[in-house]
Structure formats: structure tokens, C-alpha cells
Structure 1
Amino acid sequence: MIKRLEENYPNCKIEVFDLTGTQDHWEVYVESSRFAGLSRIQQHQQVMGCFGPELKTGEVHALSIKTKTV
């Protein structure tokens, strides 16, 4: 999770939490200037796009996203 976010959001503040210890329920926090001018929904859609395949297969069952524009 962290590696994928770092690839998509280099030099940004990123935090990842495994909410259940089962590695399928995650909370991610991304603080990036790339979110400037985007709505919160657009920001979250961008982050979700990083995990499209895993969300489709169920490897990632739940993804809670928190974003902040720098």
C-alpha cells in the first residue's frame, strides 16, 4: 500500500493503517499539493485509482481515505 501510494504521490505525507490486521481493510492518509483545485470526491477517486485491481478482486475489501491539500 505504502509503495503504491509513494509511486503515485512522491514526496508527500502518506500514512497507512491496517484496520483489522487482515490486510484487507485499510485506512490511508495522503497529503499532497496534487489535490489543489480538486473536490474531496475527486481526491478520493484519484487515491482509489491506485488500487483499482485490488478493489475489483476483493484483495482490498475496504478502503477508508483521508486526503489533505498542501
Structure 2
Amino acid sequence: MVSLAEVENKIKASLPDARVKVEDLTGGGDHLQATVISQLFAGQTRVKQHQLVYKALQSSLASEAIHALALKTYTPEMWETTGQSL
């Protein structure tokens, strides 16, 4: 199991401009949801955006410290149109 802060830090290390929110979906610490907002996603398909986040968490996913990961990825412009806040 990894801490939510550790997951957030790994994503931010790989995507330095990212705003990140990580949530534990089940209370067990291994089924997570991450919302990631980064300008680096601009011009990328949703699949490519997710691959950038998966790459940041590769070791935690490979060791099954993270068993399931739901991702929501946005560019800053896309995020502004959702009307949500982190």
C-alpha cells in the first residue's frame, strides 16, 4: 500500500506543473482515483494522457501497491470548463 501523498508526489515529480487530487475509493489504500490537471496533456489523446500518469506510478502499479487506478485527466483549459474545484 502507498500513501495518497506518495502517489500525488510521484505524479508531480513526473508532471511538475500538475495539480493533483488522489482519493481512496474503498478505504483499503489500493483502489485509487486520481484527478490530474497538466498543460503537458495539451494536444495528447486521453490514452496518451493516462500513459503519462501510469509511467509516473509504474513501480507502485507493478508491485500491486496500487491494485486499481481510475484516472481523470485534464488540461487547465479543459478543467476550467468543468466548473469543478480540486
- The reply to whether TM is greater than 0.5 is yes
1:10 deviation in Å?
2.3
Root-mean-square deviation (CA, aligned residues, Å) is 1.1
The equivalent position to 2:61 in structure 1, one of 29, 49, 55, is 55
The equivalent position to 1:19 in structure 2, one of 25, 28, 33, is 25
Runs of 4+ more than 2 Å apart: 9-12
Percent of pairs identical after alignment? 36
Give the gaps of 5 or more residues in structure 2. 1-6, 77-86
- Residue in 2 aligned with 1:43? 49
1:68 aligns with 2:67: no
**In 1, Cα distance between the equivalents of 2:14 and 2:24?**
20
* Count of aligned pairs between the two proteins: 70
- Residue in 1 aligned with 2:3? none
Q: Which has the larger radius of gyration?
A: 2
